[in-house]
């Protein structure tokens, strides 16, 4: 069982930056793929970024070049550094985890989810 807790969301102006964190419980964090999804009001939840247990990274086209996902296995934490934020990045951001990278990158995400953190980008 893995428990995930996100933090770092908030209100930022367009063009600004935020860093989200996702702290995971459990001894097997280093062997899990981790990812971020987001859900804007009235829209379906969508994939944002993923990182494999070996550090390989994957991004949605909409955030490529602006967002960076990373992980610190010693701290059981995954990060999402968001730069050059746009109003369309406004959403609740969720952390997800799964032993399978395919699942984390897939439409439905992994088996485990955090509670989400709100990111609001003002124009």
Please provide the DSSP assignment of 43-89 as one string.
Answer: S--EEEEEE-TT--EEE-TTTTTTEEEEEETTTTEEEEEE-S--GGG
- pLDDT value of residue 93: 98
Taking only the tens place, the pLDDT of each residue in 12-39 is: 999 999 999 999 997 788 899 999 999 9
Tell me the C-alpha distance between 123 and 35, whole Å. Answer: 27
pLDDT tens for residues 57-115? 999 999 999 999 999 999 999 999 999 999 999 999 999 999 999 999 999 999 999 99
Contact 10, 80 (CB under 8 A): no
pLDDT value at position 28? 82
What was the pLDDT predicted at 10?
97
């Amino acid at each position: 069982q893995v428990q995930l807790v996100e933090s770092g969301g908030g209100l930022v102006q367009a063009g600004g930056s935020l860093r989200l964190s996702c702290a995971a419980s459990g001894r097997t964090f280093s062997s899990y793929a981790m990812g971020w999804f987001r859900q804007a009001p009235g829209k379906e939840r969508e994939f944002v970024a993923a990182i494999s247990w070996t550090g390989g990274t994957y991004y949605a086209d909409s955030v490529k070049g602006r967002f960076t996902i990373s992980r610190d296995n010693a701290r059981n934490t995954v990060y999402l550094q968001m730069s050059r934020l746009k109003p369309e990045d406004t959403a609740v951001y969720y952390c997800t985890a799964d032993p399978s990278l395919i699942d984390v990158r897939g439409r439905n995400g992994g088996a485990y989810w955090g509670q989400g953190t709100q990111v609001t980008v003002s124009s």
